[in-house]
A and B are shown apart, each in its own frame.
Chain A
């Protein structure tokens, strides 16, 4: 797979926004989107450097495992990244996406797609004042507002601004390594859930619905039903 340019990733992201009936500038509720697409998604605690896994079966069914030990902002980026593997890549090779994995073109393209998909260029510009655009200086308060709007982590937003050449090198470093993001965000009245982990045990998709249908139709025993439910909720047999 060739490495995408920013322009190519923007075009692909727009194409999928249209395909999934999302307007070109709105913030995306990823949980609603994967519910609509019926991607069976489990949120389970993995080690800190693992982000997520997705699998597409030969018949086209799609599954995701998202690390609930990552922050919510990071989880959202991972979901968008995995959407690339499931929909854009023709023959995805299932793998765990992690910090430690050396990034090949497929991983880099998935990151670029996630970035463009979650934070469209025109939507980013709509938050910036003329002064910020002209001086390549985005105020911290503006970055925090955008993070809240797009539901992404601070680093994902800052990297996106750098991609769009909206930050100087020094401002990129200042913003990227700001350790007070959560505190400042709180002082501005924003919710801080983006910067916290969560969602452990959350299930999206119709797995449980199917298990319940089987029980109602007497196709499985209560014991079998319990075992199906326990697998998806608790990882038990």
Chain B
């Protein structure tokens, strides 16, 4: 059964132009297992969602957020990758994580907290 998480998995993967094979390989799992996460047949472990949030440059909470406004802003900075090398995915995820960190540091320095 489709869940919010499974729908978001598919939306984010497609917006970034990745195949299921590539994502499964990045996560270190079989493609069929990953496919079950997207179809909602199996629950996605949180450690894998954390790894994907780095790759997509979004917060973990986005996978559980029913509102789509955050998703829209993420999608507007999504990569269109036509010729990605599998070996580059970890560096790309790390780059996006650094960007995410930087945006959070800006909020912290401005507000003194992430929640103001």
Contact = CB atoms under 8 A, between A and B. Distances in A.
Contact of A58 (B73, B95, B101): B73
Given A53-B79, A211-B105, A235 B84 contact: no
Contact of B83 (A58, A94, A100, A231): A100
Contacts of A45: 91
Contact of A210 (B76, B83, B85, B106): B106
Interface of A: 40, 42, 44-47, 49-50, 53, 55-58, 61, 63, 65, 93-96, 98, 100-102, 207, 210-211, 213-214, 217, 219-220, 228, 231-232, 235
Contacts of A214: 105, 108-109
Contacts, number: 93
Given A42-B98, A57-B103, A235-B91, A95 B108 contact: no
A50 B108 CA distance: 34
Contacts of B98: 40, 42, 63, 207, 231-232
B109 A235 contact: no
A158 to B, nearest CB: 24
Interface in B69-104: 73, 76-85, 87-88, 90-92, 94-95, 97-99, 101-103
Nearest to A56: B77
Contact of B108 (A46, A101, A220): A220
B90 A102 contact: no
B108 A219 contact: yes
A53 B95 contact: yes
Nearest to B17: A95
13 contacts: A44-B95, A46-B87, A46-B91, A47-B87, A50-B85, A55-B99, A57-B77, A63-B102, A65-B92, A94-B78, A101-B83, A213-B109, A214-B109
